[in-house]
């Protein structure tokens, strides 16, 4: 009688957490991430010893720190990927507001470490960059708002997500950090488009971005200097772009040999923003192609699994996370070969940096949580049910 009134009780799932996680996780994407992190450690061994020596540290100081950061990132990734999308959403909302407050307080308590942009908190033993953690959390919050907007009598999620995006972009532009601002704008635009935004609106927003870019060029010396350096017909060989371009040219197809590269001796960001130049010089186009294929495989594999998902929140969050990871990698690679102006953006899982690698671990953990196989979670189930 109870079942007739309230419905049958769901069967208890007695399967242990880790075996269930391993059975439902996208193991191809997980393997791709581990390979990218392994390549990052390999390149760190090549790129960081000269910098460690210049700074008075042991030769493998930065590699050891990256291994510690990477271990924390892998732990965060696994823990996050075990969670259900609902738990990820709840925790992301709390984390988002904490990261937003941290971002807003940067002008008061932050530091620029002599780089001309106040993006970090100095913790003494390490530094913290709030924008790295804010990106994946913003994607989850935006996906939640856009999905809620589709419900009957739902909140105006599109408007609220737009307002949040504008606030975050304004904070990032004030640092200035136009690279991270462009990523936040891109992730919002991708999810807004997938949620059903009219193309005319997105076209109008693209025009607005161009206008804002012109204003930023006229008002920000930091931004103008990078644009001028990108547009000039000749590359100064003593600049970061000059060193990176020469290293890529010297590397050729198979590189000059492990440990034989010269760019790490002169490029100050050889272990962070321009680590792909070290890969191209010592290992050649062969390793660079492998790295590109790994990022492309991660993004395309995630998109493929998300096409089967019928929960709009899961689809939007997964698309936003996968697209942002792919575009960040594309921007980093584009800067190194001078297809894009310098933006100070890391290569996910490969570049040195605690905030970058741990935030990337959390982001990919969220993506793996969204792409796990779930009962009754695929769009094909709904379609086949209608057909019957």
Task: Read off the pLDDT of each residue in 282-311 and give the average, rounded to a whole number.
Answer: 93
Residue-wise pLDDT for 154-199, tens only, equals 788 899 999 999 999 999 988 888 889 889 999 999 999 888 877 7
Task: Read off the pLDDT of each residue in 207-222 and give the average, rounded to a whole number.
Answer: 73
The whole-angstrom separation of Cα 191 and Cα 331 is 19
144 domain residue, yes or no: yes
The whole-angstrom separation of Cα 165 and Cα 76 is 26
Classify the phi-psi angles of 8: left when phi > 0, otherwise alpha if psi is within -120 to 50, otherwise beta: beta
Give the model's pLDDT for residue 379: 52
Give the model's pLDDT for residue 238: 66
Torsion, CA 196, CA 197, CA 202, CA 208, rounded to 10: -150
383 domain residue, yes or no: no
18 domain residue, yes or no: no
Give the model's pLDDT for residue 304: 93
Prediction pTM value: 0.87
User: 11: pLDDT confidence band, cut at 50, 70 and 90?
Assistant: very low
Give the model's pLDDT for residue 7: 41
The whole-angstrom separation of Cα 67 and Cα 41 is 7
End-to-end CA distance of the chain: 29
H or E element at residue 121: strand 121-122
Average pLDDT of the chain is 84
Asked whether residue 383 carries a pLDDT value surpassing 60, the answer given is: no
380 domain residue, yes or no: no
The whole-angstrom separation of Cα 66 and Cα 353 is 7
Task: Read off the pLDDT of each residue in 251-273 and give the average, rounded to a whole number.
Answer: 81
Range of the domain at 143: 27-48+60-106+118-371
With DSSP H G I counted as helix, E B as strand and the rest as coil, what are the percentages for the chain, rounded to 5? 70, 0, 30
269 domain residue, yes or no: yes
Number of domains observed in the structure of the chain: 1
12 domain residue, yes or no: no
The whole-angstrom separation of Cα 154 and Cα 146 is 10
Give the model's pLDDT for residue 231: 65
Residue-wise pLDDT for 21-60, tens only, equals 999 999 999 999 999 999 999 988 888 888 888 888 898 8
Q: Please report the DSSP string for 31-99 in residue order.
A: HHHHHHHHHHHHHHHHHSHHHHHHTT--TTHHHHHHHHHHHHHHHHHHHHHHS-HHHHHHHHHHHHHHH
The whole-angstrom separation of Cα 300 and Cα 304 is 6
Give the model's pLDDT for residue 12: 46
Structure tokens at 320: 């936003």
320 domain residue, yes or no: yes
Task: Read off the pLDDT of each residue in 365-385 and give the average, rounded to a whole number.
Answer: 72
Give the model's pLDDT for residue 147: 93
Q: Please report the DSSP string for 191-246 in residue order.
A: HHHHTT--HHHHHHHHHHHHHHHHHHHHH-HHHHHHHHHHH-SS--TTSHHHHHHH
Structure tokens at 100: 């937003």
Q: Scanning the structure block, which residue is given the tokens 């999308």?
A: 85
Angle between helices 130-149 and 312-336 (to 10 degrees): 140
Q: How many CB atoms lie within 10 A of CB 87?
A: 12
197 domain residue, yes or no: yes
Residue-wise pLDDT for 68-116, tens only, equals 999 999 999 999 999 999 999 999 999 999 999 999 999 889 888 777 7
């Amino acid at each position: 009688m109870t079942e007739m009134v309230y419905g049958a009780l769901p069967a208890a799932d007695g399967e242990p957490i880790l075996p269930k996680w391993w059975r439902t996780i996208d193991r191809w994407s997980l393997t791709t991430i581990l390979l990218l992190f392994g390549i990052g450690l390999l390149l760190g061994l090549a790129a960081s010893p000269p910098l460690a020596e210049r700074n008075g540290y042991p030769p493998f100081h930065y590699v050891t720190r990256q291994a510690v950061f990477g271990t924390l990132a892998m732990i965060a990734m696994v823990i996050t990927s075990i969670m259900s999308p609902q738990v990820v959403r709840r925790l992301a909302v709390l984390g988002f507001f904490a990261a937003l407050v941290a971002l807003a307080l940067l002008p008061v308590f932050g530091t620029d470490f002599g780089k001309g942009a106040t993006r970090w908190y100095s913790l003494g033993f390490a530094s913290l960059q709030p924008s790295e953690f804010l990106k994946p959390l913003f994607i989850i919050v935006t996906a939640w708002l856009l999905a809620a907007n589709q419900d009957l009598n739902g909140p105006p999620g599109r408007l609220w997500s737009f307002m949040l995006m504008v606030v975050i972009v304004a904070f990032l532009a004030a640092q200035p950090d136009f690279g991270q601002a462009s990523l936040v704008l891109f992730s919002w635009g991708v999810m807004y488009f997938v949620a059903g935004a009219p193309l005319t609106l997105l076209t109008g927003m693209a025009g607005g971005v161009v206008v804002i870019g012109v204003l930023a060029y006229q008002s920000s010396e930091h931004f103008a200097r990078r644009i001028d350096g990108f547009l000039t017909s000749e590359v100064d060989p003593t600049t970061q772009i000059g060193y990176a371009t020469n290293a890529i040219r010297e590397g050729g197809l198979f590189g000059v040999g492990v440990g034989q590269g010269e760019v790490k001796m002169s490029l100050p960001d050889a272990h962070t923003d321009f680590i792909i130049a070290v890969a191209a010089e010592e290992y050649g186009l062969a390793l660079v192609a492998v790295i590109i294929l790994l990022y492309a495989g991660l993004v395309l594999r995630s998109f493929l699994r998300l096409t089967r998902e019928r929960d709009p929140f899961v689809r939007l969050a997964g698309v936003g996370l996968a697209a942002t990871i792919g575009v960040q990698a594309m921007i980093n690679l584009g800067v190194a070969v001078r297809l894009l102006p310098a933006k100070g953006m890391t290569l996910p899982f490969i570049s040195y940096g605690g905030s970058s690698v741990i935030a990337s671990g959390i982001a990919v953990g969220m993506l793996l949580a969204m792409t796990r196989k779930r009962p009754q979670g695929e769009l094909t189930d709904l379609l086949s049910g209608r057909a019957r």
